[in-house]
Each structure stands twice: as C-alpha cells, then as structure tokens.
Amino acid sequence: MTADAGDRAADWIESGAAEYSTNFGLLRLTTTPTKFAEFANDIVDVQPGFWFHLKLDPNQSAGGMRAWFAGRTPFGFTAFSKGRIVKAERLVSSIDPAPRPSSLGAASVPALTLPSAIAAVCRIPQRVSRLSAQDVLARVPQSDKVLIHDVGQGSFTTLLRYGQPCLHFDVGSPTAFNAKGARTAPFAVDLDTRVPILLSHWDWDHFHAAFQIPSLWRCRWIVPDQILGPAAASLARGLATARRLYVWNGGSASFDVGDVGECTGLGRNGTGLALLASLLDGRNILLAGDADYNSLPFGTLHVDGLVATHHGGRAHSAFSRPPAPIGRASYLISYGASNVYRHPHDEALALHGSVGWSDPIRTASFNGIARGDRAL
C-alpha cells in the first residue's frame, strides 16, 4: 500500500465530492408515520424502506409540512435551510407486494423504478485488498486509555497508548441540525497519525468529522456491511477507491486491543460493530455505538466502564439492560447540549442507574463543569 492512496482519498473529498454536493441532502421532519401517510395520500402505513418523491418549497409560509433541509457540501452537512414540503408521493419499491408497475418502453421515465436504482448504488463497495479487517485490527496495540472527544452531538473516541492514538472508534461530528453544539476547540491528540478507524455504523453523527478533517481519509476504515444512504455510499466509494475501506465479514474476534463483533439487533443501529476495549491495566471498557445492549455480541458482561449507547437515548427494547459495573466503574455519555433529540433521556439515566451505573460523566457542560474531552 503506498502513501498516495490516502492522498488520493483526501483529494477526492476536496474535489470529487463536489460531484455529489447538489444531488444529496439530509431532510428532517417532525411528524408521525400516520400523519405523514395522510399527507402523502398513502393508504399504507409508512414503513422503514419506503421511498417518497417530495417537493420542497423554501417559502416557510407555504402550506404543507414544516421541514429542515441540509444540502451536501465538501465539508458535509454543516448548514441547513427551513421550508415546507408541499407534496409527497410514495414510490413503489422492492419491498412492495407484486404486481408492481414497470416501464412500458425505453423512452418512458422510470420514476417508479427509482428506489431499486438507488438501492443498487447504496450497496457498500467490495474491493479486494491484501489485508482483511481482521488483519488491520491484529496490528493495533493494546491501549491504556479511552479518550472520548467532545464533538457535540456525535461520537468520536480515540484509544491511546502512552499518549499516542492507536485506534479511533467512530469519527463523528454533528450534522447541521445540531451544528450549534459543534466542537470549536482544537483536538488534543494528533489526528494526522494514520491509525485505523473502527466505525460502529453508518449514521452521520458517527463519521461526519471525516468531512472536516481530511487526514482521516488517509486512515484505514473498518466498517460494517450495511445498506447506505446515497451520500454515505459516495463516501464509502471514495475510501474504497483509495483502498482504505475494510468491510467486516461478520461474527466476533479477539485482538490485543479488545473484542470486536457484529451486533445482532435490527436496523442500522442494531447491526453495527461494538468494541470491548481491553486496557493495559486490566480494565474492560464497552463502546456500543448506538446498539441496544441486548444486541451486543459479547454475551453476559461485567465491565469497568462504558460509553452509554446512543448518546443516552431511550432503549429500543424493554430487555436492553446495561451490563453490570465492576467495583468503582465509570460511565460516560457523549452528546451535545440542547440537541434536537433531547439526549440524554431521563429514562436512559434511570435504566443505567437501576443496575449500578450512577453519576455519569458528560462531554456537555453540566452542574457547573465545562464541556470538554473526557477519559476512561
């Protein structure tokens, strides 16, 4: 592997990403599936995986549903505009029952087949490399500290060995909808060091910092095999082209740095990768990404520390109880103050407290303590 592969990735984010800047965006609505289905004149309950053709109007006084739209730029989704969705029409996709409408000829516009075309683009690229994801992790040394960066509403953790980074677990930053809580202070560790990145899952607040820190494109990325959105797929293609993308092939494995495994839940949050970091002093620190605790691949756990899953969000399952702490264990919540999701939820704090985790460390300011990076 030559150094220029990483340089090509950095060039891609500065130039090639412009190809996608006007095509993709993030849309945020505050509604319910029932209300949205009524607005779209859809007799079928809205389900994950449905595709819709939406018409947006920047005039906030227009009729329709209130919406926030963040367009793609070379620096990610860092600014948004307000408007209204004035029309919504569901497109037929592969999950709908047959028979499905099909094009009558080459000259007709294939609007109803659009979801299938998008789905094909959004498969994670599979590139052959000399190394596997497991080979990359086998070269990572054992760490002595877990440093959770205060990036705002996002997830960005670095495992350190004697002050030097040896692995990043997620490299997130807030998208436009939580931009006011984004990090402004410089990073305390050297992010130009080409250490591997272990991505928990393909949600923007877990990898968005790559658009603000070009050196992260020179790292090797170990990622779960998930269906991606179009913009995330363009990022994956850039990494794959530079031969910096290593797709986890499922299951679990143990390394010097700790245990890595594929979660067994549902959806993007529940099928990502989790890390049980093994530190030099004998402690085990759990990094679960956004997965429910009952979907972790490590079995029954007692841990010395953990970063609360999903930024302190509500559990998706009534059986998602945190693992029990060992002795004077500590747990941390990484989130941005005044985020739109209202993390951390009281329900999540109570759930952790019920098994012995109390007084969480927070990256956001709290009780007179200023926001900042925290270590476990």
Which tokens belong to 214?
């070009």
Q: Which of 272, 313, 230 has the alpha carbon at shortest distance from 26?
A: 230
Share of the chain above pLDDT 90, in %: 56
Highest mean pLDDT among 63-77, 113-127, 358-372: 358-372
Q: What is the pLDDT of residue 60?
A: 84
| Range picked from 6-10, 100-104, 267-271, 306-310 for highest mean pLDDT | 306-310
pLDDT band of 51, cuts 50, 70, 90: confident
Q: How much is the pLDDT for 105?
A: 39
> What interhelical angle do 230-241 and 3-14 show, nearest 10?
150
Q: What is the mean pLDDT of residues 218-240?
A: 90
Angle 50-115-268 from CA coordinates, rounded to 5°: 55
Say yes or no to pLDDT of 351 above 60. yes
Neighbouring CB atoms inside 10 A of 347's CB total 11
Residue with tokens 């099909």: 102
Distance CA 272, CA 116 (A): 23
Tell whether the model's pLDDT for residue 15 goes beyond 70.
no
Q: Report the C-alpha gap between 36 and 32 in whole angstroms.
A: 6
In this structure, what token pair is assigned to residue 253? 């494995």
Residue 113's pLDDT band (cuts 50, 70, 90): low
**pLDDT-based confidence at 110, cuts 50/70/90?**
very low
> Cα separation of 299 and 128, whole Å?
32
Mean pLDDT of the chain: 84
pLDDT at residue 95, as a whole number: 52
Residue 316 has pLDDT above 80, yes or no: no
pTM: 0.85
* Average pLDDT, integer, range 182-208: 94
Residues 43, 312: Cα–Cα separation, whole Å: 35
Would you call 9 helix, strand, or coil by DSSP? helix
Write the CB contacts of 85 (distance below 8 Å, at least 6 apart in sequence): 29, 39, 54, 55, 56, 57, 64, 65, 67
> Taking the mean position of all CA atoms in its chain, how far away is CA 188?
23
Distance, in Å, from the CA atom of 130 to the CA atom of 148, rounded to the nearest integer, reads 31
Q: How many C-beta atoms lie closer than 10 Å to residue 367's C-beta? A: 6
**What is the C-alpha separation between 247 and 254, in angstroms, rounded?**
17
